[in-house]
Amino acid sequence: MAETVLMRNFGRPDSHTLAAYRAAGGYAAWEKAKTMEPTAIVDDVKKSNLRGLGGAGFPTGMKWSFIPKTHTGPVYLVVNADEGEPGTFKDRYLLERDPHALIEGMLITARAIRSALGFVYIRGEYVQPWRRFSAAVKEAYDAGLLGNGFEVVVHRGAGAYICGEETGLLSSLEGKKGWPKIKPPFPAIKGAFGQPTIVNNVETLCCVPPIIERGAAWFAGLGTKTQGGTRMYSVSGRVKKPAVYETSVSITLRQLIELAGGVSGTGRLKAVVPGGGSAAILTADEIDVTMDVDGLKNAGTMIGSAGVIVMDESVSIPEALLVLARFYAHESCGQCTPCRESTGWIEKIVHRIVEGHGHKDDLDTILDVAKRGGGTTICAFYDGAIGPYISYIEKFRPEFEALCRS
């Protein structure tokens, strides 16, 4: 297995403290970055092939370079710590066990994009991560790491999944209802409070100090041709050792399941969700795929937030879909018509099927409705929702039909 980069400090005593972080060589990257031109930092991150680890997999260095060069007003750095994708719990570990890695990543990133103010939007349910991270911010202020040209504001969410969507997060941060914003303009041009804003995921920013310290080429070499580094996979469901695993992005799904101790329950694999609730499901025959952005894209699904949910043969796929359908109906923000109306509609149909009152035609209705609504909304929420709607039914149709009348 590849070396441990992001979780390198997790095993140290009091790893969340500044003293422990420093003792492990922390903030050396920041010292180095301070001597670098901002453009050189951006170039390093571009060369490292770091891609966003929150879900979309967008190249991080390229995102940073979208800040208008001529802009003279404030630029904001916003950290997306609203980790809410079903089956994902990696950012929680970083915030709790290595909060200074995030602060160091923010400092370097702020220098690269010339930002003097950063916001960290933490999921409301994440109480312990918020406590740990806030304490780390205080330590960093006391040590003079923060407050000398870069300030950090910690903001807690109030429990809406949609506020993890980049622009929904910005609306919420601005004090408005957490509705995603219409694009264009993109946040790098006009983001939080109308200013150019870079929104990055916690894990993404935690990759930045190692890149600066050990070099872009080293980081790029850890991964595949199109994605550098390692990443943290949240493995849950029917595996013997559910946990967060950090490995190279070139690992296959089969290897990852083995790393997590193999399939538990009946011991016979039925299906795997490879990248959080919004990723299309894979059958037991489809797990020889590499767990990088492009590997899963080619397999017709997505790595998303790398939340791997393993289902053994005892799991009912229709019931699993009902859980997700209920989730999407509950969490749709209600802004765009197709998503607002059809998430609720599909939940009702799936519910009816699971209760034994479905009809085979209902399955075609779900597929048709999902396909028609895809790609018609402001944000990617609905495109995420239709991943499971379509793949669960298409790949496990007989199981649904067995519950239907006629």
Nearer to another protein, 247 or 278 (CB): 278
Among 228, 304, 318, 373, binds another protein (CB under 8 A): 373
Options 55-63, 89-97, 138-146, 372-380: segment touching another protein (CB under 8 A)? 372-380
State the minimum distance, in angstroms, from the CB of residue 84 to another protein: 14
Among 124, 345, 383, 403, binds another protein (CB under 8 A): 345
Binding mask 55-94 for another protein (x = CB under 8 A): ----------------------------------------
Determine, following the binding rule CB under 8 A, whether residue 349 of this chain makes contact with another protein.
Answer: yes
Report, in angstroms and rounded to the nearest whole number, the Rg of the chain calculated over CA atoms: 21
Determine, following the binding rule CB under 8 A, whether residue 375 of this chain makes contact with another protein.
Answer: yes
- CB-based contacts of 241: which residues, under 8 Å, 6+ apart? 235, 260, 261
Determine, following the binding rule CB under 8 A, whether residue 253 of this chain makes contact with another protein.
Answer: no
Determine, following the binding rule CB under 8 A, whether residue 331 of this chain makes contact with another protein.
Answer: yes
Nearer to another protein, 40 or 182 (CB): 182
Among 340, 367, 383, 403, binds another protein (CB under 8 A): 340
Among 184, 285, 356, 398, binds another protein (CB under 8 A): 184
Among 336, 353, 354, 363, binds another protein (CB under 8 A): 336
State the minimum distance, in angstroms, from the CB of residue 236 to another protein: 25
Among 52, 164, 274, 338, binds another protein (CB under 8 A): 338
State the minimum distance, in angstroms, from the CB of residue 136 to another protein: 32
Among 332, 363, 384, 396, binds another protein (CB under 8 A): 332
Options 102-110, 121-129, 177-185, 223-231: segment touching another protein (CB under 8 A)? 177-185
Nearer to another protein, 131 or 340 (CB): 340
Determine, following the binding rule CB under 8 A, whether residue 214 of this chain makes contact with another protein.
Answer: no
Determine, following the binding rule CB under 8 A, whether residue 330 of this chain makes contact with another protein.
Answer: yes
Nearer to another protein, 12 or 326 (CB): 326
Determine, following the binding rule CB under 8 A, whether residue 283 of this chain makes contact with another protein.
Answer: no
Determine, following the binding rule CB under 8 A, whether residue 405 of this chain makes contact with another protein.
Answer: no
C-alpha span between 268 and 209 (Å, rounded): 41
State the minimum distance, in angstroms, from the CB of residue 140 to another protein: 31
State the minimum distance, in angstroms, from the CB of residue 22 to another protein: 42
**C-alpha closest to that of 79 among 17, 41, 136:** 136
User: Checking DSSP bridges between strand 282-283 and strand 269-273, what pairing results, if any?
Assistant: antiparallel
State the minimum distance, in angstroms, from the CB of residue 326 to another protein: 11
- CB-based contacts of 264: which residues, under 8 Å, 6+ apart? 238, 239, 240, 312
Binding mask 133-172 for another protein (x = CB under 8 A): ---------------------------x-x----------
Both tokens assigned to 70: 């001529």
Options 97-105, 125-133, 221-229, 339-347: segment touching another protein (CB under 8 A)? 339-347
133 in Cβ contact with 88 (< 8 Å): no
C-alpha span between 243 and 232 (Å, rounded): 10
Binding site for another protein (CB under 8 A): 160, 162, 177, 182, 184, 329-338, 340-345, 348-349, 352, 365, 372-373, 375-378
